[in-house]
Amino acid sequence: MHSWCVVLLTLFFITTCSSQTDQNYWKSLAEKELEEALQVRFNLRTAKNVILFVGDGMGPNTITAARIYRGGESHRLAFEKFPHVGLLKTYSANKMVPDSACSATALFSGIKANLGTLGVDATVPQYDCEASLNKEAWLDSLAAFALKAGKSSGLVTTMRVTHATPAPLYAHSASRSWECEANMPANAKQCKDIARQLVEDWPGRDLHVVLGGGRQVLVSNSTGTPEDPISAWSCYRQDGRDLIDEYRRDKEDRNLKYQIVSNTRELLNIENDIDYLFGIFANEHLQYEFERNKSPEGQPSISDMTKAAIQVLSKNPKGYFLMVEGGKIDMAHHRGRAKTAVDETVAMERAVQLAVDMTSDEDTLIIVTSDHTHTLSINGYPDRGASIFGIAAESPFDHKNYTTLSYGTGGPGSFQYDIKTIDNKTRAERREPSKEDTESYHYVQIAAIPLDENSHGGGDVAVYAKGPHSHLFHSVHEQHYVFQAIAYAAKIGPYSNGYTTKVNILLLTTAVLIKLF
């Protein structure tokens, strides 16, 4: 075993060194990319199906780190092989740096909203229940427009199904925190909580697939287990309602074929004839991939959920819209745990590859993007081939090492300084990271500014696309442009009757004139 390790390390060293110094290596690398670029053709078909992956908090540096973690600097993630790429500006209607609720609203509904609000336009301030009751401020999502077009719609998330990213698909709320009635103030009692909107109102009740966490938001006075405890962090329903049971009764009253599942075994053995699938696998968010119970009685992976969702949705001959969120990327970043965030990115990448394998470029538009960045930095100057989670170099100022990854902001655990008093002078000394296990999923990278937790970043995010009209993602776009491009590609919502802008009228007029003369 030891000799094989030596051989592999030797081969890796030879390959790395030759790729650093061999001109032919670099030429062939670029020529291969050129050949791929020359093969790209615009697919002008209508997108029968649309799958939108949202890596929550998956900024460009997260993707770079995931690429290196997965296969080295020259590696490409599954979605990095998509032929069309753009950038999205993520600012919200009132903030330079957004949260997931307003940015998901922009992605799914085509309108930028205020921080903390979802499914409503910018006339609704955060926490203003009365303003959110104005139905003129309500926004229809891509899921809603797909249903109106006779398509199926669904969502997959590793978060609570009522959380900030999935909720704008079906709910209209002045606060992302109003997931259940227990979190709503007295002056907001006339507004309906997000969980009830999912189960009781259209389009939530008609979503064909809902998979994720959040049992304690849906079922009053839920009980937990040591592996899946009740969380004080999120809303805890206490009004006596069992919304999962209400979902069941609604489907039975309408004679709809449905199935409710609660673990991996049940999900992987869903019945072939169902049209509606509702799966809640945790009291709160699902566990991180590295700590997930992978037994049949445990929680499914994001790939497991994506596969089941496509199986159910693809039965509709008119097609479907599916949103898949890798939400735990964001959660790990908020905790300052870069390796966990990167590992969650790789888990979502596997789901992307699975979706690619299960569908066809002929009729399915697949998009991978993010709602916002985080403050993750990749620092200079580690050697090529070094671990992305390792030590970059030694600082010439305090003569202590620093890690390749760090954050601009972070929680208390990321303030890695010891306060010392020497010769009556108090100073902060940075801790030596080489004395800690920086490869641990639990390691918290150092941050420049201590906060209660790592904040979001305001940088642009990448958008990757393949399939019908994927070429519409080609430049620096506003984030809410994603809605427009998808609606146009699938001919739903504002484009259900064709595209009638001035550009089309001009092209049509030109074609007529050419034919006449």
Q: Is 181 annotated as contributing to ligand binding?
A: no
Phi, psi angle pair for 119, to nearest 5°: 70, 15
Is 75 among the annotated ligand-binding positions? no
467 Cβ contact list (under 8 Å, min separation 6): 43, 47, 359, 361, 363, 364, 365, 366
- Residues 259 and 241: their CA atoms lie apart, in Å, by 20
Contact between 388 and 405 under an 8 Å Cβ cutoff? The reply is: yes
- Report how far residue 320's alpha carbon sits from residue 358's, in angstroms, rounded to the nearest whole number: 14
456 is in an annotated binding site: yes
Angle, to 10 degrees, between the axis of helix 2-21 and the axis of helix 23-38? 80
Asked whether the beta carbons of 171 and 145 are under 8 A apart, the reply is no
* Residue 371 annotated as lining a ligand binding site: yes
The set of catalytic residues is: 100
Residue type, 136: E
On whether 245 is known to bind a ligand per the annotation, the reply is no
Select from 332, 329, 326, 330 the least CA-distant residue to 414: 332
SS (H, E, C) 272-297: CCCCEEEEECCCCCCCCHHHCCCCCC
Does 437 show up as a binding residue in the annotation? no
For residue 152, what are its two tokens? Answer: 């199926």
DSSP string, 104-148: HHHHHHS----TT-BSB-TTS-TT-HHHHT-GGGB---HHHHHHH
372 marked ligand binding residue:
yes
Residue 122: count of CB within 10 angstroms of its CB: 16
Contact 323/54 with Cβ under 8 angstroms?
A: yes
Element (H, E) at 409: strand 405-410
The bridge status of strand 364-369 relative to strand 461-466 is antiparallel
223 marked among binding-site residues: no
**Amino acid identity at 226:** P
330 is in an annotated binding site: yes
* Widest distance between CA atoms in the chain: 93
Query: Which residue ranges make up the annotated binding site?
Result: 56, 163, 165, 325, 330, 334, 371-372, 456
Query: Which residue ranges make up the annotated binding site for Mg(2+)?
Result: 56, 163, 165, 325
Query: Which residue ranges make up the annotated binding site for Zn(2+)?
Result: 56, 330, 334, 371-372, 456
